[in-house]
Structures are given as structure tokens and as C-alpha cells.
Amino acid sequence: MANQDETLRQLMLAAQQGDRHAYTRLLGDCQLWLRRYFARRIPPSQIDDLVQDTLISLHRKRASFDSNRAFLPWLAAIARYRWIDHLRKVYRADETDLNEDIHAQPEDDAIASRLSLDTLLACLPEKQAEVIRLVKITGLSIAEAAARSGQSEALVKVNIHRGIKRMSAMIEEV
């Protein structure tokens, strides 16, 4: 995952210097990544248009990529902006209904490496991180987690609730 990001980062650096070959390869990889990214967010019939819009944005805003940072979090920020813009346009135009068949795929792999659970959990208070690990990752019940952590069952629930809320906010924050 980290290797994929590093490869894309190197391609982007070359693209920023005007390397056409590297840019073509980068755009091809980004196209695949974006297709997967949008697959669970919009109806399949709209994916092509949104991928195209996002690639054009990537092209226009390529100077905004900071070469000292990872590539996929940048691409994800561009994609999310285009996606929100797309939703706004769709709702304004009232052209489509919400599609219940939007399907999820195991994707966004390398972006997850930047947003890994460990990284996120490290940002939480220890008690919240501990019960999230015990219940959501190890798979213990609330009662078992309470016994293991020394927290009451109610506190375990509250700490999971607060911890995951905080993690969600960290993911959403750009």
C-alpha cells in the first residue's frame, strides 16, 4: 500500500516537471482508483462522468500537490471535493433519486494506510482506544471488554461511542 503511494508520488513529481509518459501512467492509475472510490458513493451510471471531472481537476490543480507528502490523501481530497460538488449539482437539478444499489467494494486501499486504525487510535485517550480495540477489533463482548479493561459496561459503551465519533471526525477533516 505504501509502495503504491510512493510510486504514484514519484509519477506525480515527474508529471509536475512535465514528463508526459509518467503523467499518462499516473492518470491511468488514478482513473482506476477513482472508479473504485466512487463506486460506493454514486450510481454506476454517473461514475464515468465524475471520474472524468476529477481527472480534469487533478490536471488543473496539479500544482497544489505537495511533493513532500503522500499522493493518495491528496487525490482523495480532490475526489471528495468533486463528489460533494457532484451531489450538490444532482440535488439542485433534481435529476435523480438516491440509488439504494450503490455497492461497496474493498477499495481505497492505500488511502487507508494513511488513515490506519493504529494512527487513529493513537490519537484517542487510552481508555477509549483500549475498549475500541477489545470490542471492535478483538471481537470481545461489552461485558468481556468491561471485565478486561476494568471499566463499567456503561463506560465501555460511552468510550466506544466517543472514540469512534472522534475517529470519524478525524477521517472527515481535511
Partner 1 sequence: MYKYARPQLASAWRYHNNVVNVLSKNMTDNQVSPAPSGARPFDVSVLADDIAPVTPMRLRTGLMLTALMSIIATVAVALAMGVREDVAALSPDRMFMIRAGALLMIGVAAAVAALSTATPRIGRPTPKAWKWALMLAGLLPLGALISLLNAPSHDAQSLQAKLDPQYGLECLRISALCALGIAAVMVLWLRRGAPTSPERTAWLIGLAAGAFGASAYSVYCPATTLVYIGTWYSLAVAMCAVAGRIILPPLLRW
Least gap, CB of 167 to partner 1 (angstroms): 7
Q: What's the length of the chain?
A: 174
Among 2, 6, 61, 125, binds partner 1 (CB under 8 A): 61
Q: Given the C-alpha cell 490523501, which residue does it identify?
A: 73
Q: Strand, coil or helix: what is 114? A: helix
Q: What is the CA radius of gyration of the chain?
A: 20
Residue 111's nearest CA partner among 57, 30, 53, 49 is 30
Q: Say whether residue 55 binds partner 1 (CB under 8 A).
A: yes
Residue 125 sits in the site that holds partner 1 (CB under 8 A):
no
Q: How far is the CB of 102 from partner 1 (least distance, A)?
A: 13
Choose between 94 and 103: whose C-beta lies nearer to partner 1. Answer: 103
* Member of 41, 46, 127, 136 binding partner 1 (CB under 8 A): 136
Residue 22 CB partners (closer than 8 Å, separation 6+):
10, 11, 14, 15
The binding track of 93-122 with respect to partner 1, each residue x by CB under 8 A or -, is -----------xxxxxx-xxxxxxx--x--
- Count of residues that bind partner 1 according to CB under 8 A: 73
Q: Which of 57, 87, 147, 155 binds partner 1 (CB under 8 A)?
A: 57
Contact mark string toward partner 1, 8..47, x via CB under 8 A:
-------xxxxxx--xx--xx--xx--xx--x----x--x
Q: Is 154 in the site for partner 1 (CB under 8 A)?
A: no
**Cell numbers 482508483 correspond to what residue?**
33
Q: How far apart are the first and last CA of the chain?
A: 21
Q: How many helices (H) and strands (E) does the chain have?
A: 9, 0
CA 46 to chain centre: 20
Q: Which of residues 77-96 bind partner 1 (CB under 8 A)?
A: 77-78, 80-81
